[in-house]
């Protein structure tokens, strides 16, 4: 499984979100490759899931990949809840 964390430039918010996602996946024993990218690269990439700040929702509308948007990137509980819910939905 590949998860992409996204921000405008690909090295600020997306890296912070990547570290949080990595921590959550490790705590839950879930194997996934997590990469931090900018919006432009995310539009052309392939992944199973994109995670980004809620303010990027309109920028990622055209990307045909499952997406999770986070309102408060410093709220690990919000990230955890949304990530785990999405992973559960992906299992079917």
Is 7 labeled as catalytic in the residue annotation?
Answer: yes
Domains identified in the chain and CATH numbers: 2-91 (3.40.50.2300)
pLDDT, residue 11, reads 67
pTM of this structure: 0.92
User: Taking the C-alpha atoms of 74, 75, 78 and 80 in order, what is their torsion angle to the nearest 10 degrees?
Assistant: 80
Which entry of 7, 34, 39, 79 is annotated as an active-site residue? 7
Model confidence over 21-73: pLDDT tens digits?
Answer: 999 999 999 999 999 999 999 988 789 999 999 999 999 999 999 999 999 99
C-alpha–C-alpha distance, residues 50 and 57, integer Å: 11
């Amino acid at each position: 499984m590949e998860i992409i964390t996204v921000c405008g430039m690909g090295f600020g918010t997306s890296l912070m979100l990547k570290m949080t996602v990595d921590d959550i996946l490790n705590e839950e024993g879930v194997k996934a490759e997590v990469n931090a990218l900018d919006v432009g690269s995310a539009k052309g990439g392939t992944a199973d899931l994109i995670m980004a700040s809620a303010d990027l929702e309109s920028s990622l509308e055209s990307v045909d990949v499952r997406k999770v948007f986070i309102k408060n990137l410093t709220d690990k509980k919000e990230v955890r809840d949304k990530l785990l819910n999405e992973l559960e939905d992906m299992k079917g």
